[in-house]
């Protein structure tokens, strides 16, 4: 096989930026996080922003040009690595006659059809390590510490890092929280002599009968809403109701960087091998996925437009509750 890399994701297909890939190019990158090719969470061949006279921005469909460029390059298969936005675009490109294979990579772990995505384990480890460090100062200074983690509309990262880090309260998007219940938990701990509490909050968490907190809107993006700020809201509400001092730590992009975990290195390698086998066999319109212990191929048509979120009645939620963690209800 001859392999080329598309720079900056779908942007590279629009701007025709490609580089040859060989063993020398990829040697030693297994220990690196991120991507040597670059990426973009804005580029979408079906929605390309164009500025018109007067500064007005309109969006046009350039997918036919992308399909033509893929044909010009002589690609037998296109391998698309990314999250749910990447897979949704991949599904639409496959309908244009492009044979492609998706590979699920996101820290949010929210892609339908796979038990886990690569990137999630590394981010969970980073978040857990941060919670561990915050535990130390929380105990020393007798404070309520609120840690806001990523995850968008799915609570996997907050739930699993919260359990691993010994969070006393975990708030996720799938279970709208009651602030009075959260306050009762931290007040009870304080009265019992446990003069600190760890509250882990997913960026997409929201109060019962309330809305998610939006930090800003990026109009050109395929997913314009940027969540953020719920940690500060939870802390302020708790201070008003309890009088206890609360401090907020927003982990942000700290969770996305650094050295990938051994689990993620192995999973990414297994995904890559399966994707290359599918390409060799002329298979397209699928995404590689983990089902149990097996790496399988699932139709992209089953994935597009769906999000894998936490089931509020899942065994993992029951685990959290049975070790005394408050889920905000």
Tell me, what's the pLDDT at 42?
A: 82
Q: Considering the domain boundaries, does residue 18 fall inside one? A: yes
The answer to whether residues 174 and 315 belong to one domain is yes
In-domain check, residue 327: no
pLDDT in tens, 238-255: 999 998 889 999 998 888
For residues 70 and 86, state if they share a domain.
yes
Identify the domain containing residue 290 by its residue range. Answer: 3-118+260-302
> How many domains is the chain built from?
2
Cα(121)–Cα(141) distance, integer angstroms = 30
Check which CATH number belongs to the domain holding 69 and give it.
3.40.50.450
Q: What percent of the chain has pLDDT over 70?
A: 99
CATH of the domain at 148: 3.40.50.460
Classify 51 as helix, strand or coil.
Answer: strand
Note whether 200 and 225 are same-domain residues: yes
Measure the CA–CA gap between 139 and 22, rounded to whole angstroms. Answer: 51
**Would you place residue 220 in the very low, low, confident or very high pLDDT band (cuts 50, 70, 90)?**
low
Helices vs strands, H then E, count in the chain: 10, 14
Residue 222 has pLDDT above 80, yes or no: no
- Average pLDDT of span 30-44: 89
In a domain, 103, yes or no: yes
Write out pLDDT tens, residues 72-112. Answer: 999 999 999 999 889 999 999 999 999 999 999 999 999 99
Q: Are residues 146 and 234 in the same domain?
A: yes
Is 76 part of the annotated catalytic residue set? no
Question: Would you state the pLDDT for residue 1?
Answer: 87
Q: Determine which one of 108, 110, 168, 264 is catalytic.
A: 108
Whether residue 328 is contained in a domain is answered as: no
What would the DSSP string read from start to end of 111-174?
BTT-S--BTHHHHHHHHHHHHHHHHHHHHHHT-EEEEEE--TT--HHHHHHHHHTT-SEEE-TT
Report the distance separating Cα 156 and Cα 84, nearest Å.
Answer: 15
Contacts of 201 (CB under 8 A, 6+ apart): 146, 147, 148, 149, 158, 170, 171, 230, 231, 234
Give mean pLDDT, residues 33-58.
87
Q: What would the pLDDT profile of 141-192 be if each residue is shown by its tens digit?
A: 788 999 999 999 999 999 999 999 999 999 999 999 999 999 999 999 988 8
Query: What's the confidence (pLDDT) of residue 221?
Result: 67
Check: CB of residue 13 under 8 Å from CB of residue 6: yes
Longest dimension (CA), the chain: 70
What pTM does this model have? 0.91
For residue 213, is it within any domain?
Answer: yes
């Amino acid at each position: 096989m001859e392999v080329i890399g598309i720079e900056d994701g779908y942007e590279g297909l629009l701007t025709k930026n490609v580089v040859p890939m060989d063993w020398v190019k990829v040697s030693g990158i297994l220990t690196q996080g991120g991507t040597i090719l670059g990426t973009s969470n804005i580029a979408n061949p079906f929605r390309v922003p164009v500025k018109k006279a007067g500064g007005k921005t309109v969006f046009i469909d350039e997918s036919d040009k992308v399909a033509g460029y893929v044909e010009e390059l002589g690609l037998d298969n296109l391998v698309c690595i990314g999250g749910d936005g990447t897979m949704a675009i991949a599904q639409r490109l496959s309908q244009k006659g492009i044979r492609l294979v998706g590979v699920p990579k996101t820290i949010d772990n929210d892609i339908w059809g796979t038990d886990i995505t690569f990137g999630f384990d590394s981010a969970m480890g980073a978040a857990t390590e941060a919670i561990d460090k915050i535990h130390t100062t929380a105990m020393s200074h007798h404070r309520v510490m609120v840690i806001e983690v990523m995850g968008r509309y799915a609570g996997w990262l907050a739930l699993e890092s919260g359990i691993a880090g010994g969070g006393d309260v975990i708030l996720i998007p799938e279970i709208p929280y009651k602030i009075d219940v959260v306050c009762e938990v931290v007040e009870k701990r304080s009265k019992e002599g446990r003069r600190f509490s760890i509250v882990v909050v997913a960026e997409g968490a929201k109060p019962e009968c309330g809305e998610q907190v939006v930090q800003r809107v990026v109009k050109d993006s395929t997913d314009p809403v940027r969540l953020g700020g719920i940690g500060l809201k939870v802390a302020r509400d708790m201070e008003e109701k309890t009088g206890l001092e609360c401090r907020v730590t927003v982990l942000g992009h700290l969770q996305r960087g650094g050295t990938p975990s051994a689990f993620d290195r192995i999973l990414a390698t297994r995904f890559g091998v399966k994707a290359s086998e599918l390409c060799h066999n002329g298979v397209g319109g699928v995404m590689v996925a983990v089902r149990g212990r097996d790496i399988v191929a699932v139709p992209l048509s089953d994935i597009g437009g769906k999000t894998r979120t936490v089931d509020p009645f899942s065994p993992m939620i029951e685990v959290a509750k049975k070790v005394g963690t408050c889920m905000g209800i």
